[in-house]
Amino acid sequence: MNYFLSLPRFYKRLIGVLSDALFISVAFVGAFYIRLGDLTLYYNIQYVYLLLLLIISTLLLFVRVGLYRAVLRYLSLHALLTIIFSCIISAGFLIISGYFTHAFVPRTIPIIYVSFLIFLCGGARLLVRVSSTTKQNNRKIRTLIYGAGDAGRQLLYLLRQGSEFHPVAFIDDNKNFHNTVVNGLTVHNKKSLASLITRKRIDKMLLAIPSASRIERKMIIESLVELPIEVLSIPNFKDLLNGSATVDQLHDVPIEDLLGRDPVASKSALLGANINDKVVMVTGAGGSIGSELCRKILLQNPTVLILFELSECSLYQIDKELCGMVISQQLNVEIVPLLGSVQNQHLLERVLKSFKVQTLYHAAAYKHVPLVEYNVVEGIRNNIFGTYYTALACIAAKVESFVLISTDKAVRPTNVMGTTKRMAELSLQSLAAEEHDTRFCMVRFGNVLGSSGSVIPLFKQQIKKGDHVTITHPDMIRYFMTIPEAASLVIQAGSMGKGGDVFVLDMGKPVRIVDLATNLIKLSGLQIKSKQNPLGDIEIKFTGLRPGEKLFEELLIGNNVTPCDHEGIMRANESYLPYAEYKQILKSLDEACTQFDHKSIREILISVPAGFNPTNEIEDLVWKADQ
């Protein structure tokens, strides 16, 4: 079989022609023998002519219908139907040829002949197909498909054409499917999974349930976590329908499925209120949140979208992507990429006035807790003064709306980063109480999945290396939200701002980080290595809390919240400082930063009503080097 499959195409076709000629002869002789009981009629030259005519006409028919162009290892149902149809026509040739050669052909001969020919021609080809497929399947990864619906059947078809996976069975929760056969595979009940995996030697499971809700997928995934197989998923059903993804693009189970939280629905009126037909600017446009904000804003048809970014590389990437979106979706939006720092108030004013910006989203910030602990002065300059200077520039340029992207780490902070973000909120709250034309608001939320430096990509990288996964503390919990959902809610919250509002997003229930890591390891088909299981694959190591890190985060300073026009957004009513008092604090903080006086910096941050309660000593690397 290996030798035959490796032959050049010409020789394969030649073998096919000769084999079919032999099959036609055998079917012809067999039909007469079955009908008449002897072969003495072949001494008559008429039957020899009849056989030759039949071979030539049938082979020409096979050539005409493309039977020799078909690749046997991929023989389809259509090809088998073509063979049957061609054999029936060949039987017609037998009747016609008998008439012209004056040979005696009993009426039952064509029926017996066509049965033999279908069996020989179709069976031989089917045998090659089965042998080839069996050989390929032995090299493939044995796989279960979870979901016997449309997506599951499409996935089955594509996997059978590929060279990596060998599907052996379906699993489905629908009782109507149980013990039925779909496209040649038996559909099993989920209760028999454990024994099925052992019996069928399954290595992977592919989830073909793209239309299920997040909550449903979470329940399914949780039931699979303890099984000794790797679990993969197919793209979202919406992406399959619009053509942006194909069913064979398999990937790890999305982490949002492990959270089991369906995204909050958007309200189109709120999305476009501050954007449609307006000039919009995003600071930190190349970051995780900033870039997603830009994508969402672009779809709301602003007249101009200004990308303000300090990193040249990040600005180039987001500018290229957005310009591609404008062309592909035929949008009438001007993209303006600008390099600059939010600490440069003069530049900000010039930009805002020159382009007549109406709405500004301030996403520029240093957000990594340990890095800001090690670089205190730059963290303060960028997060506190950068926000303050941007706000003053907006007031000078008479920008209509200013929306600050804040964080849950601003609530009762134990680190410098969280304190700088709370100070940024205080600056906008104090400015909002003054007389001017700019409406300030801020949106506070927790961790976003997949952002730069987030824990999930780190876990996946560590699992891929196969050594160990590092977690700071077994009791650490965090709120999580996808980047697109966070960006969408930020835009909607900004349109509801009246002045000095602190909006808090509904983040759902907090998640234990160790549970996320455990599920990721198990869904990769690996086992946790521990004292109880020393032969496991991946060990979870606890490294201890990093400087300034908290075990859990909060979203509210108090309990005084009011509902908004959107069910996924709340308005927090929190105290703030008068602007004159806040300016004096900034002046003292500026002087301390200029002198690199970290003791004074810490005293000022503690004295400010930001709730700063440091859990570690001063960690600034320059200051420690001086010491």
Beta-carbon contacts of 330 under 8 Å, excluding residues fewer than 6 positions away, are none
Banded pLDDT at 260 (limits 50, 70, 90): low
Please state, rounded to an integer, the average pLDDT across all residues of the chain. 84
Which range of 117-126, 339-348, 508-517 scores highest in mean pLDDT? It is 339-348
Size of the chain, expressed as the number of residues it contains = 627
More confident residue, 284 or 468: 284
Torsion 593-597-602-605 (CA) sign: negative
Residue 78: Cβ within 10 Å count = 8
Q: Which of 309, 302, 319 is nearest to 356 (CA)?
A: 302
Answer yes or no: is pLDDT of 389 > 90.
Answer: yes
Burial class (CB in 10 A: 0-12, 13-18, 19+), 471: buried
Q: Give the pLDDT of residue 611.
A: 86
Answer yes or no: is pLDDT of 222 > 60.
Answer: yes
Answer yes or no: is pLDDT of 240 > 60.
Answer: no
Answer yes or no: is pLDDT of 268 > 60.
Answer: yes
Residue 356: Cβ within 10 Å count = 13
Torsion 60-65-68-69 (CA) sign: positive
Q: Give 119-126 contacts, CB < 8 A, sequence gap 24+.
A: 120/23, 120/26, 120/27, 121/20, 121/23, 121/83, 121/87, 122/80, 122/83, 122/84, 122/87, 124/19, 124/23, 125/70, 125/72, 125/75, 125/79, 125/80, 125/83, 126/75, 126/80
- Token readout for 197 is 């995996």
More confident residue, 451 or 309: 309
Amino acid at 387: T
Residue pair 317/307 in contact by the 8 Å Cβ criterion:
no
Banded pLDDT at 159 (limits 50, 70, 90): confident
Predicted confidence (pLDDT) per residue in 426-440, tens digit: 999 999 999 999 999
Q: Give the pLDDT of residue 580.
A: 93
Q: Give the pLDDT of residue 423.
A: 95
Q: Give the pLDDT of residue 343.
A: 96
| SS3 readout for 432-461 | HCCCCCCEEEEEECCEEECCCCCHHHHHHH
Amino acid at 352: L
More confident residue, 61 or 509: 61
Q: How many Å from the N-terminal Cα to the C-terminal Cα in the chain? A: 77
Gap between the Cα atoms of 191 and 211, Å rounded = 22
Gap between the Cα atoms of 383 and 236, Å rounded = 37
Instruction: Please name the residue that has the structure tokens 């900033």.
Output: 290
More confident residue, 58 or 568: 58
Residue 371: Cβ within 10 Å count = 14
Banded pLDDT at 452 (limits 50, 70, 90): low
Where are the alpha helices (H) located in 225-274, listed in sequence order? Answer: 237-242, 255-259, 268-273
pTM here is: 0.68
Which range of 123-137, 266-280, 321-335 scores highest in mean pLDDT? It is 321-335
Mean pLDDT in residue range 34-50: 75
E strands, 318-471, are 334-339, 359-362, 401-405, 439-444, 447-449, 468-471
Residue pair 320/342 in contact by the 8 Å Cβ criterion:
no
**Would you name the residues annotated as active-site residues?**
409
Gap between the Cα atoms of 558 and 438, Å rounded = 27
Gap between the Cα atoms of 281 and 308, Å rounded = 7
Residue 61: Cβ within 10 Å count = 17
Query: Containing H/E element for 143?
Result: strand 141-146
Banded pLDDT at 217 (limits 50, 70, 90): confident
The β-bridge relationship of strands 569-572 and 561-563 is antiparallel
Predicted confidence (pLDDT) per residue in 137-153, tens digit: 566 788 889 888 888 88
- Token readout for 328 is 């592909």
Mean pLDDT in residue range 593-600: 94
Side by side, the strands of the sheet bearing 251-252 are 181-182, 185-188, 165-171, 141-146, 204-207, 230-233, 251-252
Gap between the Cα atoms of 516 and 459, Å rounded = 9
Predicted confidence (pLDDT) per residue in 311-369, tens digit: 999 999 999 999 999 999 999 999 999 999 999 999 999 999 999 999 999 999 999 98
